[in-house]
Amino acid sequence: MQPGLSFEQAPPISVPYRFFLTAPLFGIAAGLFLLWQGPAAIASRWSPLSLALTHLLAVGFMLMAMCGAMLQVLPVAAGANIWRPLLVTRLTHAGLTLGTLLLVAGFLAEWPLLFKLAVAFLTVSLLFFALAVLLALLRTPAVGPTIVSLRIAVVGLFVTVILGATLATAFGWHLSLPLTHLTHVHAAWGLGGWSLLLVAGVGYFVVPMFQLTPSYPAWLSRSYAWALFCLLLAWSLAWLPDPRPQALQTLLACLAALLPLAFAVVTLRLQGRRRRKMVEPTLLFWRLGAGSLIAAMAVLLLQQLLPAVDAYVGTPFVIGTLLIVGVFMPLISGMLYKIMPFLNWLHLQKTGKPGLVVPNIRDMIPEARMFMQFRLHLAALVLLLAAVALPVLVYPAGLALAASCLWLERNLVTGTRNFIRFGEELKAAVARERQPERPAAA
C-alpha cells in the first residue's frame, strides 16, 4: 500500500483536554459513592451497586481518559489521522459522559428506560469512536509493535462495547440471556482485550522514552497482543458448548494471565535498567501499575487453580480493584502528567516567535503536587484492598479515592490554566515587539 502521507500537526488542544478534565470527576463520584453506600457497595460483584461503581471508574474515568489520549496521540505520534476529529471528539465525549451517567443511574434505579437510553448513547458514540480510530490505525504508514497492539486493542474495544450493549439491552428489554457468562466475557475483553493491550501498545514507546530504558524484547512485543487476543477469543468461545470444557477453559485463562504478568515483570526490569536515574511521579505511577498487575494476575491464577480462592466472595473484588485502581488509574494519572505539560509546551511554542522563551514542561504542573496525588492514590488502593477483609474501611477508602481524583483534577486544572496564562503572556510579548518604538517620555 502506498502510505497515506499527510502528516498533520496535533489536533486543537481542546480535543484531548475536555476528556482529561472530565475523567477525574467520575473518579471523585466513585469515591463519594463508596462513602454514600458504605460496605454494601462492595458486598457482591453481582449487586447493582458494585456494577454502578465499576462503570463509574471503568467507563467514566478510564475509557474517558483513554479515548482523549488516543485522539491526541494517534495523529501526533503514529501519523494516524482521524476522520473529522472534532466531530468524533464531540460525539465521543458527549456520548461517554451522558451514557455513563445514565448507565450508573440505571443500575441504581433498576429502571429499564435508563438502560435503553444508556445503550443508545454509549453504543453509538463508542462504535463511532472505535471505527474512526481503527480506520486511522489501518491507514497509517507507521510500522512497529505499538501500532499492531493498538489495532488489536481497538478490536477488543469493539467486542467489549457490543457485549456491554447486549447486556444493557437485556436489562432494558428484559431479555433472557446467559447474563453471568456474558458479564465474565464483557469484563475480560474490557480489561484485557482493550485496556491491557492499550497499555502494552503505549508502554512499548513511553517506557523507553521517558526513562531511557532499553526497548522491550522482541519476543514479547511481537507476540503479546496477538497471543492475548487469541487466548481471550478461545476462552470466550469455550463458554458456548454444553457441557462446557472446564479444564480447557481454566488452561486458557491461566495462559492468558501469564502474558500480562510477563509484561509487568519485563517493564519493572527495564525500569531497573533505566539511564535516567531521577525518580519522578510518572515512574512511580508506572511501578505501582506494574506491581499491581503482577498481583492481579497472581490472584487470577490462584482463582483458576484453587477452588477455595474461586469460592471466596471477595476474590473478584480484589482482582477488579487491583486492575482498575491499581493498574489503570495510576498509569492514566502518570501519563496525563506527561501528556498535558508536553501538549501545553507544543501549542505554546507555536504562539510565540523566535527569540521568545516558552515556559518549559516543568512549569506547567508543580511536581510536588503530582507526588501528593500518588500518595493519596496509593492510600486509596491499600484501603480498598483491606476493605475486602474489613468492610468498615470502605469509608476511608472512599475518602482517599475521592481525594486522589480531586488532586488529579486540581493538577489538570492548574495545567490548563497555566496554558491559558502563558499563552496570553506570549501573545502580549509578541504584540509589544510589533509596536513601533515610541520616543521616551520626557
Given the rule CB under 8 A, which residues bind another protein?
3, 5-7, 9, 76-79, 140-144, 146-147, 205, 209-210, 212, 275-278, 338, 342, 345-346, 349, 354, 357, 360-363
CB count within 10 Å of CB 262 equals: 15
| Three cell numbers, residue 216 | 522491550
Least Å distance between CB 248 and another protein? 38
Q: Which is nearer to another protein, 17 or 337 (CB)?
A: 337
Question: Cis ω on the peptide bond leading into residue 16 (within 30° of 0)?
Answer: no
Least Å distance between CB 397 and another protein? 34
**What span, in angstroms and rounded, lies between the C-alpha atoms of 201 and 224?**
10
35 with 398: CB under 8 angstroms? Answer: yes
Least Å distance between CB 152 and another protein? 17
Least Å distance between CB 366 and another protein? 12
Report which secondary-structure segment, H or E, holds 71.
helix 64-78
Q: Which is nearer to another protein, 105 or 361 (CB)?
A: 361
| Three cell numbers, residue 272 | 531497573
Q: Which is nearer to another protein, 47 or 351 (CB)?
A: 351
Strands (E) across 262-359 are located at none
Q: Which is nearer to another protein, 37 or 211 (CB)?
A: 211
| Three cell numbers, residue 85 | 476529529
Least Å distance between CB 348 and another protein? 11
**What span, in angstroms and rounded, lies between the C-alpha atoms of 131 and 125?**
10
Least Å distance between CB 197 and another protein? 18
332 with 61: CB under 8 angstroms? Answer: yes
Q: Which is nearer to another protein, 354 or 436 (CB)?
A: 354
61 with 30: CB under 8 angstroms? Answer: yes
CB count within 10 Å of CB 49 equals: 19
| Three cell numbers, residue 110 | 433498576
Amino acid type, 50: S
Least Å distance between CB 3 and another protein? 7
Q: Which is nearer to another protein, 121 or 285 (CB)?
A: 285
- How many residues are recorded in the chain? 442
Least Å distance between CB 343 and another protein? 10
CB count within 10 Å of CB 208 equals: 17
Q: Which is nearer to another protein, 55 or 151 (CB)?
A: 151
Contacts of 361 (CB under 8 A, 6+ apart): 341, 342, 344, 345
Q: Which is nearer to another protein, 357 or 442 (CB)?
A: 357
For residue 152, CA distances in Å to 133, 173, 174 come to: 11, 31, 32
**What span, in angstroms and rounded, lies between the C-alpha atoms of 419 and 421?**
6
252 by DSSP, 3-state: which? Answer: helix
Least Å distance between CB 430 and another protein? 15
Q: Which is nearer to another protein, 231 or 331 (CB)?
A: 331
